[in-house]
Amino acid sequence: MRVARSLVLFALLPLFAACQLLDGPRESASHVGQTRMQGQLTAADGKLLFQPCNEQRSYVVNDTGGTSLLQEAATLADAQGKLFADVRGRVVDSRLDLAQLYRVERSGTACNDPNFKVLILRAAGHGPEWNVKVSGKGMVIERAGQPPLAVPYVEEQLGDGRFNLSTEANNQHIELWVAPQRCVDSTTGSVQHMSAELRIDGQVQRGCGYFGGSRND
């Protein structure tokens, strides 16, 4: 198996200076002609409409990629609140030919997330709560009852879209394992396109994840 490793050598700066843009996002050759977009979902006349963030125009969703977005949205819409979607597709006139679903969740504020553009990956889980934000500057790990930990990391590609990020910090071996697999957040009900495992000294905590705006695989 071919294994590619890349060591992040950037300074350990917080992720939250989010106004600074990094180099352009990685884009697969299969994504040529497609656009990644975030926006709100609504239903009208038996159709699902997608309105990109900060735009007035809406597009009829045509799920050409078999993402099951209509079913996912119908499930989340059982509760009150706006639906947010992070998708990739091709706009044709008033239609969005949907190719990939990154996440769908109940949110009226996700369009205004100041950190999204600089994030490579975000993963989180529950019981206890944990959250990992990854950017080109490093990895920030937050766990219930502990201060945030900012560290560099090594990325190891494992094939089939799977990879892991690892680091040694505070005499602990920390790994984040990620796989392209539909994942439902057990608390919020949000659907994300990746499953994640945070492993610290052999202890495993499971959760979900999605690529941020700096990585569009």
The arithmetic mean of pLDDT across residues 100-122, rounded, is 93
Do residues 103 and 183 both lie within one domain? no
Q: Helix or strand or coil: residue 63? A: coil
> What confidence tens digit (pLDDT) does each residue in 158-187 have?
989 999 999 987 788 999 999 999 999 989
Those residues with Cβ within 8 angstroms of residue 155's Cβ, 6 or more apart along the chain or in another chain:
4, 5, 6, 8, 163, 164, 165
Do residues 98 and 59 both lie within one domain? yes
The arithmetic mean of pLDDT across residues 79-103, rounded, is 90
pLDDT score of 10 more than 60: no
**Domain-located, residue 13:** yes
Is the CB of residue 154 less than 8 Å from the CB of residue 169? no
Do residues 120 and 169 both lie within one domain? yes
Angle at 122 between CA 87 and CA 28, to 5 degrees: 50
Q: Which residue has the higher pLDDT, 30 or 153?
A: 153
Those residues with Cβ within 8 angstroms of residue 2's Cβ, 6 or more apart along the chain or in another chain:
157, 159
**Domain-located, residue 216:** no
Do residues 36 and 85 both lie within one domain? yes
Question: Domain ends where: 111, 140, 160?
Answer: 111
Question: Domain ends where: 79, 111, 143?
Answer: 111
**Mean pLDDT of the residues in the chain:** 84
Q: Which residue has the higher pLDDT, 32 or 101?
A: 101
Tell me the pLDDT band of 30, cut-offs 50, 70 and 90.
Answer: low
3-state secondary structure 72-121: HHHHHCCCCCCEEEEEEEEEECCEEEEEEEEEEEECCCHHHCCCHHHEEE
Tell me the pLDDT band of 11, cut-offs 50, 70 and 90.
Answer: very low
Helix (H) or strand (E) holding 70: helix 69-76
Q: What is the pLDDT of residue 140?
A: 95
Question: Domain ends where: 90, 111, 132?
Answer: 111
**Domain-located, residue 35:** yes
> What confidence tens digit (pLDDT) does each residue in 32-76 have?
688 999 999 998 888 899 999 999 999 999 999 999 888 888 888
Do residues 107 and 158 both lie within one domain? no
Cis peptide before 52 (omega within 30 of 0): no
Do residues 76 and 144 both lie within one domain? no
- Residue-number span of the structural domain to which 205 is assigned: 5-19+114-211
Q: Which amino acid is at 75?
A: T
Closest CA to 154 of 2, 1, 4: 4
Q: Which residue has the higher pLDDT, 21 or 176?
A: 176
> What confidence tens digit (pLDDT) does each residue in 180-214 have?
999 999 898 999 999 999 999 888 999 999 999 99
Sign of torsion over alpha carbons 147, 118, 192, 111: positive
Tell me the pLDDT band of 79, cut-offs 50, 70 and 90.
Answer: low
Q: What is the pLDDT of residue 75?
A: 83
Residue 122 maps to which CATH number?
2.40.128
Residue 39 maps to which CATH number?
2.40.50
**Domain-located, residue 139:** yes
Tell me the pLDDT band of 108, cut-offs 50, 70 and 90.
Answer: confident
Closest CA to 194 of 206, 202, 168: 206
Q: Name the least confident of 18-27, 129-138, 156-165.
A: 18-27
Q: What is the pLDDT of residue 7?
A: 32
